[in-house]
Amino acid sequence: MTSQVPCYTIINSPDLDVPNEMQLKQDLEKGDTNVKIETLKKVIKLLLNGERYPGLIMTIIRFVLPVQNHTIKKLLLIFWEIVPKTSADGKLLQEMILVCDAYRKDLQHPNEFLRGSTLRFLCKLKEPELLEPLMPAIRACLDHRHSYVRRNAVLAIFTIYKNFDWLVPDGPELIANFLDTQQDMSCKRNAFLMLLHADQERALNYLASCIDQVHTFGDILQLVIVELIYKVCHANPAERSRFIRCIYNLLNSSSNAVRYESAGTLITLSLAPTAIKAAASCYIELVVKESDNNVKLIVLDRLVAMKEHEGMEKVMQDLVMDVLRVLAAPDIEVRRKTLALALDLVYSRNIGEMVLVLKKEVAKTHNVEHEDTGKYRQLLVRTLHTCSIKFPDVAANVIPVLVDFLSDTNELAAADVLVFIREAIQKFPALRALIIEHLIEAFPQIKSSKIHRAAVWILGEYVEGPQILEVIAVIQQTLGEVPMVEAEQRRLAGDQTEEQQQQQQSQGASEGGATGSGSGSASTKVTSDGTYATQSAYSLAPVAKAEKRPPLRQYLMDGDFFIGAALSVTLTKLALRYAELEAEARAQNRLTTQVMLIMSSILHLGKSGFPAKPITNDDTDRIFVCLRTLSERTPEAVSVFTLFCREALGKMLDAQADEDQRVLKEKQRAAAKVQPDDPVSFGQLSNGRDNQLGENVFESSLNQALAGTKNAQMSDISSPNNKLNKVTQLTGFSDPVYAEAYVNVNQYDIVLDVLIVNQTNDTLQNCTLELATLGDLKLVERPHPVVLAPHDFCNIKANVKVSSTENGIIFGNIVYDTALNTNVVVLNTIHIDIMDYIIPASCTDTEFRQMWQDFEWENKVTVNTSFTDLHEYLRHLLKSTNMKCLTPEKALSGQCGFMAANMYAKSIFGENALANLSIEKPVDDPDSKVTGHIRIRAKSQGMALSLGDKISSSQKQSVQAA
């Protein structure tokens, strides 16, 4: 609204005790300078909080305005900015004439600070009656010796010309002459800025006269020149050739801000390959040299936006190696975004160079202790994985590097390596021998049972020929002496086991017999006087050391018998495959009995009581199945072990590939969506997707012109994003004051646009909107009181800050004065919807499980709905919670009477929300309702509770609708 007074100064203050007006007057009249300063501060805070002190204005003019203290002068500028300057009938107060005279004197003051600060204050005045007498003094300040005064005088003339051009009709000409004579860069910048907005023709003439010297200007002036070129070239495309060389020159500016803006302007003016390459190179240079991580992320977003443009992507493909220079940054988010961008740009010609760079990055992460090193190693593994699947030619170079990760203490990186190896060994049969060889070498160095378990499965599934015996030997080496129970008994009794004997023999061989026998307990010595003495040694019992066992044995002793079951399956596969290859029955039986001995030994150990936890029934059954398969060799069981496992893996990988392709097609389809009535800018043949790189002024103005001619569809009005659906009624239609609010959520801010209607025949004085909040919401400022004529209306805006993802409540009332008394209308509460902060997101199954394990707050919601179809209920839940279903579509297809799905979402504050849906319904009763429950997990209690409340309320609405 044009009549609304803008608020320039917001000073946050706690709740103040409202003092007596007489006390304030006395302090302002008779107090010393310090007392006057404190009192003036108090008055300013009270005025901002909505208090009114019309009687203080004359006191301040008489006793405070003449004081020459600089602090008081600054506080008075704020006071005159916020104090009401008009009476109830809208006329200027008589006292303001005295204030105007005081500021005319300040504009002629010899102190340049007073002059400059007064000129800045005049920029905020909206009363032409106050400004008119000051114009000669403002003009005179343009010739002041100090640049601080001159640049503020230009700003004052600019704002006065913009608001009341009749006060300074020759403003552009005056400033153009001023610009020609100036040397100070800040004065030139302000003057050029005024010409840019007030008279573009004069600005262009000035730029044309000094276009060759632009690179010598200061950065603040260069930024305004870039803005002018952008506006002029979009308004008049014929001017591009005139100014594009200037933009190229500014790409080499010493200021990073100028280079950033110049690169953005360049790609909106020209799509020539040289322009795209120059802009992208400039962005990359900025990311590499700028130290602030936020700046790095912003510039990387610009590069990603350029990559999305079809015409720019091919040019940027040659810059992949430059993009990878950004990996020198220590921040994990910057590295993640850089690797994703490089992966999208890389192609067959430079994939080899990219893999070399990534291998060097892997080498750099070894022996580096940093909190993000593990995550970075995991990122590198996934990037190399994607490179190898995308370009199979480099897989042979990547595999040796990645296999080194298996012995890493970071389990996440090692798990990702095995996921890659599993996919590569299935998709690239030519590389199987190489992968198996490296995997056998790395097997004894693996430190995690989870990694050993997966490695054992891969070896059992894909080893063939003579490598079978090699794998069994490696497994026996990492398992230790068999039978295990007897070995543990000997270890407990203090006897030497086979492993200890082998260690001693190897130590003895390395020492080469240099040490003698240590069994003698006494030795004869000769003392200094020539006599003999006997020295005796008492041997103490050896201190029990922590026993070091082979890795697989240690897992079993810790009670992890799941790896024992996985080991049994692998040994069974190896024995069956060996039997197919080896014709001699004796060799077959020897290997089979060897394998069966290991399995029975694991069973015996699990029941013996030595391990920390006994073997579970599931693992026992699995090992018995393996033993029975080896002894009976039934064709059905043998085919399960030898064929079906690999087929199942192939189907799973194919399903993953299909899902990835589907997601990619959806993205491309969304990117290429063009409405039939979209306007086409024939100058560039663009389709509106350039807006993320810079606003196309022609197209946006055409859109605005056409917006009024389109018929509003019912679907547009009923959509949840429509503004009308976010209006909350605050009072009843029969209340004397009717109010309704439009709630606009903009990330961390909530703007309440409240419409207030006076439904009475009286004038409402001091009509004030008073608000309070519950939850993590904070009211930024108190709305100003308004005067409402009979049946008049007005809009009041209030800003609320949000700090976390929780359901918040805003409540309050409207207070107004009539001729007789003060009245209060209580408002309906406004519920801030958590869905405005939540966006769908995706993560891997491993990350989901890890977060599910780490998050401590869980909220279990029982399903209570009228839906009779499981899939319909899932779709309804996803729509009402803004979550994304992580379970693939193929896993959910079909009707079997039950469904389990994982869902994930993120808030704009970076909080994660997980949900697990478990529902069922009888298959034989089609009319029965869906039953089950939803478990929600989050790091904060508020997130878990708010999401649960949202699900419950959406279920109630669906039941009521039914």
CA distance 549 to 99: 91
719, pLDDT greater than 60: no
CA distance 372 to 360: 17
Q: How many CB atoms lie within 10 A of CB 805?
A: 25
List C-alpha distances in Å: 594 to 102, 483, 769, 932.
Answer: 106, 11, 86, 49
pLDDT score of 134: 87
List C-alpha distances in Å: 687 to 273, 608, 621, 675, 681.
Answer: 19, 74, 63, 9, 8
pLDDT score of 882: 87
916, pLDDT greater than 90: yes
Over residues 426-461, the pLDDT tens digits come to 888 888 888 898 888 888 888 888 888 989 999 888
Dig out the tokens for 29 from the structure: 């009249």
CA distance 893 to 1: 54
pLDDT score of 104: 86
626, pLDDT greater than 90: yes
Residue at 790 is within a domain = yes
572, pLDDT greater than 80: yes
The C-alpha angle with vertex 371 and arms to 368 and 374, in degrees rounded to 5, equals 70
Provide the angle, in degrees to the nearest 10, between the axes of the packed helices 411-427 and 645-671: 100
pLDDT score of 365: 82
Least-confidence region, from 160-174, 607-621, 654-668, 825-839: 654-668
Amino acid found at 720: P
Contact present, 60 and 68 (Cβ < 8 Å): no
List C-alpha distances in Å: 204 to 161, 185, 220, 224, 227.
Answer: 19, 18, 17, 12, 12
* Three-state DSSP state, 534: strand
Place of tokens 């000129």: 119
Of 224-228, 235-239, 261-265, highest mean pLDDT: 261-265
Shared domain for 793 and 818, answered yes or no, is yes
Phi/psi region, residue 64 (left: phi>0; alpha: psi -120 to 50; beta: rest), is alpha
Shared domain for 886 and 782, answered yes or no, is no
Least-confidence region, from 292-301, 670-679, 807-816, 851-860: 670-679
Q: Which of 832, 860, 880 is the endpoint of a domain?
A: 832
CA distance 472 to 460: 10
pLDDT score of 196: 82
545, pLDDT greater than 80: no
pLDDT score of 681: 55
Shared domain for 855 and 793, answered yes or no, is no
398, pLDDT greater than 50: yes
Q: How many domains does the chain have?
A: 2
Q: How many CB atoms lie within 10 A of CB 786?
A: 20
CA distance 226 to 246: 9
Over residues 754-774, the pLDDT tens digits come to 999 999 888 888 888 988 888
Dig out the tokens for 263 from the structure: 């690169």
Shared domain for 798 and 870, answered yes or no, is no
List C-alpha distances in Å: 950 to 604, 881, 906.
Answer: 53, 7, 15
Contact present, 106 and 137 (Cβ < 8 Å): no
Residue at 815 is within a domain = yes
pLDDT score of 517: 41
Over residues 305-333, the pLDDT tens digits come to 888 887 788 888 888 999 999 998 888 88
912, pLDDT greater than 50: yes
What size, in residues, is the chain?
A: 962
Contact present, 255 and 219 (Cβ < 8 Å): yes
pLDDT score of 593: 92
Shared domain for 846 and 953, answered yes or no, is yes
For 55, residues 6+ apart whose C-beta sits below 8 A from its C-beta are 21, 25
DSSP of 455-482, one letter per residue? HHHHHHHH--TTHHHHHHHHHHHHH-SS
Backbone angles phi, psi at 8, to 5 degrees: -90, -30
pLDDT score of 64: 85
Contact present, 834 and 880 (Cβ < 8 Å): no
Distance, first Cα to last Cα, the chain = 44
Minimal CA–CA distance to 112: which of 64, 78, 151? Answer: 151
Shared domain for 751 and 821, answered yes or no, is yes
- The three state secondary structure string of 824-873 is EEECCCEEECHHHCEEECCCCHHHHHHHHHHCCEEEEEECCCCCCCHHHH
State how far Cα 437 lies from the chain centre.
41
Backbone angles phi, psi at 200, to 5 degrees: -65, -30
Residue at 404 is within a domain = no
Radius of gyration of the CA atoms of the chain, in A = 39
Phi/psi region, residue 559 (left: phi>0; alpha: psi -120 to 50; beta: rest), is left
Shared domain for 782 and 820, answered yes or no, is yes
The C-alpha angle with vertex 422 and arms to 421 and 426, in degrees rounded to 5, equals 110
161, pLDDT greater than 60: yes
pLDDT score of 348: 87
Residue at 962 is within a domain = no
Backbone angles phi, psi at 145, to 5 degrees: -70, -25
pLDDT band at 706 (very low <50, low <70, confident <90, very high): very low
Place of tokens 């000073």: 11
CA distance 107 to 916: 69
What is the CATH classification number for the domain harbouring 847? 3.30.310.10
Place of tokens 């995991």: 378
Shared domain for 862 and 820, answered yes or no, is no
> Exposed/middle/buried for 518, CB within 10 Å: 0-12, 13-18, 19+?
exposed
pLDDT above 70: percentage of residues in the chain: 85
Minimal CA–CA distance to 264: which of 215, 294, 299? Answer: 299
CA distance 80 to 97: 12
pLDDT band at 510 (very low <50, low <70, confident <90, very high): very low
Contact present, 249 and 213 (Cβ < 8 Å): no
635, pLDDT greater than 60: yes
* Three-state DSSP state, 116: helix
Over residues 341-352, the pLDDT tens digits come to 999 899 888 888
Shared domain for 784 and 843, answered yes or no, is no
The C-alpha angle with vertex 278 and arms to 226 and 331, in degrees rounded to 5, equals 95
Task: Report the greatest alpha carbon distance in the chain.
Answer: 130
Over residues 595-616, the pLDDT tens digits come to 999 999 999 999 888 898 999 9
115, pLDDT greater than 60: yes
The Cβ-side half-sphere exposure at 666, using a 13 Å CA radius, reads 6
Least-confidence region, from 221-230, 251-260, 802-811, 949-958: 802-811
Amino acid found at 188: K
List C-alpha distances in Å: 954 to 15, 315, 375, 843, 950.
Answer: 39, 49, 38, 26, 6
Dig out the tokens for 141 from the structure: 């300040």
pLDDT score of 596: 92
Residue at 869 is within a domain = yes
Minimal CA–CA distance to 276: which of 696, 690, 668? Answer: 690
pLDDT score of 852: 92
Q: Is the dihedral of CA 201, 202, 207, 208 positive or negative?
A: positive
536, pLDDT greater than 80: no
Residue at 501 is within a domain = no
Shared domain for 886 and 773, answered yes or no, is no
pLDDT score of 283: 92
638, pLDDT greater than 50: yes
Range of the domain at 885: 836-957
Contact present, 805 and 786 (Cβ < 8 Å): no
Shared domain for 804 and 887, answered yes or no, is no
Amino acid found at 425: I
Residue at 416 is within a domain = no
pLDDT band at 197 (very low <50, low <70, confident <90, very high): confident
pLDDT score of 499: 56
Backbone angles phi, psi at 425, to 5 degrees: -70, -25
pLDDT band at 244 (very low <50, low <70, confident <90, very high): confident
DSSP of 85-111, one letter per residue? -B-TTSPBPTHHHHHHHHHHHHTT-S-
pLDDT score of 543: 41
Provide the mean pLDDT of the chain.
81
Of 364-373, 490-499, 920-929, highest mean pLDDT: 920-929
Q: Which is more confident, 12 or 464?
A: 464
pLDDT above 90: percentage of residues in the chain: 15
pLDDT score of 514: 42
pTM of the complete model: 0.67
838, pLDDT greater than 60: yes
State how far Cα 518 lies from the chain centre.
66
For 447, residues 6+ apart whose C-beta sits below 8 A from its C-beta are 407, 408, 409, 551
pLDDT score of 672: 47
CA distance 455 to 451: 6
Shared domain for 827 and 840, answered yes or no, is no
What is the CATH classification number for the domain harbouring 749? 2.60.40.1480
Over residues 13-31, the pLDDT tens digits come to 555 566 777 888 888 888 8
149, pLDDT greater than 70: yes
503, pLDDT greater than 90: no
pLDDT score of 789: 86
Dig out the tokens for 486 from the structure: 């007897």
Backbone angles phi, psi at 75, to 5 degrees: -65, -35
Q: Which of 771, 805, 832 is the endpoint of a domain?
A: 832
538, pLDDT greater than 80: no
CA distance 468 to 479: 16
Q: Which of 832, 850, 884 is the endpoint of a domain?
A: 832
Place of tokens 């203090």: 494
pLDDT score of 847: 85
Minimal CA–CA distance to 436: which of 480, 405, 466, 414? Answer: 466
List C-alpha distances in Å: 911 to 38, 227, 241, 854.
Answer: 44, 38, 49, 13
Residue at 9 is within a domain = no
Eight-state DSSP code of residue 733: T
> Exposed/middle/buried for 816, CB within 10 Å: 0-12, 13-18, 19+?
buried
List C-alpha distances in Å: 239 to 207, 212, 278, 584.
Answer: 13, 17, 20, 88
pLDDT band at 677 (very low <50, low <70, confident <90, very high): low
pLDDT score of 192: 83
pLDDT score of 2: 38
520, pLDDT greater than 50: no
